[in-house]
């Protein structure tokens, strides 16, 4: 009971003390490895497909997902929009009926979705049974618990999932919109995400990152409530500003040989900062 496990520097260490010291050393080494050297052991949940937690208990999110899966089984869309409430609310605008419904579009937007939730939906049936010519993605502004790097990785993971299931589709990644009436950290974070996804997808095949925040931020740095009524969601006027370049790009993709239709689209939608790209080989801005 009083024997020494090892004598070091004249000190007598018991077996119990030695084990405790060893455990402390190992814990310190683990901490350094997992945090001090880049956090390789920390999982980025923005890239891990997971369903939205049903905190209200009404099952609405899963019901909407199941409806989308059924729509994919029953319809033959040329365009699929997927994302959060900014995508979902688009379907309630006149622009959807005028611009996107005639393109045989499906809207798979759910309010509150983050990148991991969209990823789960895409991996669990929403991209089965169909072969769209284009898939449009807008998600990431709700990832409040993730850094800009993590959100960008989540969006990139969504791109990879779409590419795996729909190799023929042209993937359109929309930049995150600014948010908040005045400049704020969340707006800065979204801007950083946009820079990161443009760089991450620069060499990707059959894709385009489209800037949709054109003219939404005024010269004094504020956002007009006539464009974003709550400084997060778009008004009808805001949707027209944001989605004009999307409309022009999709029109070009779907009807590139129909000169008359392209001319009509140009008249319906003023020239944007994102003219449709001629190069279909790599992802462009």
How many CB atoms are located within 10 Å of the residue 241 CB? Answer: 18
- Whether 230 is a known active-site residue: answer yes
Q: Catalytic: which of 230, 258, 264, 273?
A: 230
- Whether 85 is a known active-site residue: answer yes
- Whether 145 is a known active-site residue: answer no
Q: Catalytic: which of 85, 105, 269, 272?
A: 85
Q: Catalytic: which of 14, 191, 233, 255?
A: 233
Query: Looking at the annotation, which residues are catalytic?
Result: 85, 230, 233
């Amino acid at each position: 009971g009083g024997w020494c496990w090892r004598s070091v520097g004249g000190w007598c260490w018991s077996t119990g003390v030695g084990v405790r010291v060893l455990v402390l050393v190992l814990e310190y080494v683990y901490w350094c490895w997992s945090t001090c050297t880049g956090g390789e052991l920390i999982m980025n949940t923005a890239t891990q497909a997971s369903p939205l937690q049903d905190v209200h208990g009404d099952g609405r999110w899963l019901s909407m997902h199941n409806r989308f899966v059924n729509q994919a089984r029953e319809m033959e869309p040329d365009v699929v929009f997927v994302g959060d409430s900014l995508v979902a609310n688009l379907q309630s605008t006149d622009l959807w009926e005028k611009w996107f419904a005639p393109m045989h579009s499906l809207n798979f937007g759910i309010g509150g979705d983050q990148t991991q939730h969209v990823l789960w939906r895409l991996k669990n049936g929403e991209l089965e049974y169909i072969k769209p010519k284009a898939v449009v993605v807008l998600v990431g502004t709700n990832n409040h618990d993730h850094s800009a790097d993590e959100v960008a990785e989540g969006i990139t993971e969504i791109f990879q999932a779409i590419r795996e299931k729909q190799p023929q589709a042209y993937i359109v990644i929309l930049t995150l919109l600014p948010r908040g009436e005045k400049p704020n950290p969340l707006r800065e974070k979204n801007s950083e995400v946009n820079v990161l996804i443009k760089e991450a997808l620069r060499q990707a095949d059959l894709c385009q990152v489209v800037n949709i925040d054109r003219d939404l931020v005024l010269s004094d740095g504020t956002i007009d409530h006539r464009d974003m009524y709550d400084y997060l969601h778009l008004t009808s006027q805001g949707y027209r500003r944001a989605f004009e370049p999307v409309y022009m790009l999709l029109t070009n993709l779907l009807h590139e040989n129909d000169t008359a239709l392209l001319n009509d689209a140009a008249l319906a939608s003023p020239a944007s900062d994102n003219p449709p790209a001629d190069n279909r080989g790599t992802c462009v801005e």
